[in-house]
Chain A
Amino acid sequence: MIEEVETKDAIKTQEYFVNMGPQHPSTHGVLRLMLELDGEIIKKVTPHIGYIHRSIEKMSEKDSYRQIVHLTDRMDYLSNHMNNEAVCLLVENALEVEVSDRVKVIRTIMSELTRLSSHQLWWGVMGMDLGALTTFLYAFRDREMINDIFEETCGARLTVNYNVPGGVMFDIHPNFQQRVKDFIKSFKTKLPEYDDLLSNNVIFRQRTEGVGILSKEDAISYGVTGPTGRASGFSNDTRKHKPYSAYDRVEFKEILMDKGDTFSRYKARILEMWESVSIIEQLIDNIPEGDIQEPSVKQVIKLPKGEFYQSVETARGELGVYVVSDGQKSPYRLKFRSPGFSNLFVLDHMVRGYKIADLVAMMSTIDLVIPDIDR
């Protein structure tokens, strides 16, 4: 593969390979990127995955449907509620049961809180990848309030396992509403700080604007979903197109950008945080009364024979769960369509011709979570 290229000045340079990762802070986990470089210019990126493969899909084939839920916490751990919800919705749809309005609203609020906390962490890490440690500390300050809400109601901060097929595990804690309201109130004053600290910063702007452009056509053909795809103008919000839980009763905008550069992807997530805040505000004051668990869902769940698919919008894009059932208490085959996997493989297309430092910025705005890619 190594060949000699002639540069403009007729100085001969040799192409060479550099491994970025698997232990590299900006790959956000154990991802290995093989870079083919000409000096500092990237010719090709080959992602190598599999360092954190835990065979969650295979393990699901022996677990019951109630047990599968807790494994999904460990895929995209920053979208834990949405992952749980995907499996639970699939089981509920297959059994043709309808959960109560209370459960729907609780799930929606929890999902949006998760989205906020995921985007906060992404924002902090994005700044840190570009050399601004400040943002990391600010993001974790705000994220702590959400983690407290989860800890009080669900009992855990990250691997919450709060959704169960047919409802949620516990009712919300008496302090839940007050805490969420306090958080929303404080976060609305904190979010403009994000713009002051990073979005308007001149160094940040120059490193992100016009860099790593992904066209709408490419986003569609690579299956890039979530804020990454929406920044290229690809309308793909599952919450809008196939509403689930309580998303059909709230008003929110699907954030669409047209440029598709690194800064648009950044901006899309910042604007999405405002939308999440508004969704929570619409729901928090009127959580309807109702059962928190649908009594018709038995302890041992057997899905009818057939194939089922359910998709939800996680913080990274469309997560799909596909189950082939042969009528037993575990699925015959289960497949997750994880957003991170499709989003990662567009990286090579985006990054060719840019410098390594730009790669770090682009990778940050794709918002990779490696356990989600490997599963």
Chain B
Amino acid sequence: MNAITSYFKDIFHAIKTLLTGMRVTGYYFSHARKEIITQQYPENRDTLKMFDRFRGIVTLTHDENNEHACTGCSACEIACPNGTIEIISDREEDPETGKKKKIIDKFIYHYSMCTLCNLCIISCPTDAIKMDPSFEYATFDRKDLTMILNKPGSKIRKDVK
């Protein structure tokens, strides 16, 4: 007799626990509109805004006069753990003082080797580079991931020491 009672008890207990779980599912089924958290990507591309600090890609900021703040000091190159940044620098005569000054020729950035660790950004003394929150950088050719960050014809800003 005892075995039979416990047999049925087990069955009822099992049904009860299964229904408890189903109740949670049922709640979200009937409150689907309120509790939705998924997004329709890529349909929402226009409204999708990443957080300001999101690390998407390293960029060299240029202002409207096509000027940047990079002195070519190579601090970022040294700080980078992966050899992602290569600074090829040059020397140019300053027209006012006549002294030779270091400038960047090419700021080469290998995106394929970047771990987006932010160490270059915090090591830059002039805040010339920053992280851009853009994304979708997949390409069909690995060559596209090597970029030259200083725009053609760009110069260093006057006030940068």
Contacts and interface: CB of A to CB of B under 8 A. Distances in A.
Contacts of B23: 196
A186 to B, nearest CB: 11
Interface in A163-178: 164, 169-170, 173
Given A71-B81, A196-B24, A151 B51 contact: yes
A215 interface: no
A70 B80 CA distance: 11
B147 interface: no
26 contacts: A63-B81, A66-B119, A67-B81, A141-B37, A148-B51, A151-B50, A152-B53, A155-B51, A155-B54, A155-B55, A155-B131, A156-B55, A159-B117, A161-B118, A161-B119, A196-B21, A196-B23, A198-B21, A200-B17, A200-B20, A200-B21, A201-B17, A201-B18, A202-B14, A202-B18, A299-B123
A360 to B, nearest CB: 20
Nearest to A193: B24
Nearest to B23: A196
A169 B118 contact: yes
B116 interface: yes
Interface residues of B, number: 25
Contacts of B53: 151-155, 170, 173
A248 interface: no
Contacts of B134: none
Number of chain A interface residues as a range: 20 to 34
Contact of B118 (A155, A173, A205): A155
Contacts of A159: 115-117
Contacts of A173: 53
B154 interface: no
Contacts of B131: 155
Interface string A183-209: 000000000010011101110010000
A202 B13 contact: yes
Query: Secondary structure at chain A's binding surface: helix, strand, loop or mixed?
Result: helix
Interface of B: 13-14, 17-18, 20-21, 23-25, 37, 50-51, 53-55, 79, 81, 115-119, 122-123, 131
Given A155-B53, A202-B18, 10 more contacts: A67-B79, A134-B25, A154-B53, A155-B54, A156-B54, A159-B117, A197-B21, A197-B24, A201-B17, A201-B18
B37 A144 contact: yes
A71 B81 CA distance: 9
A239 to B, nearest CB: 27
Interface string A54-71: 000000000100110011
5 A-B pairs closest in CB distance: A67-B81, A70-B117, A155-B53, A202-B14, A155-B55
A164 B131 CA distance: 18
A148 B116 CA distance: 18
Nearest to A132: B21
A148 B54 CA distance: 10
Nearest to A63: B81
A96 B117 CA distance: 26
Contacts of A63: 81
Contact of A151 (B20, B54, B119): B54
A198 B51 CA distance: 34
A159 B116 CA distance: 9
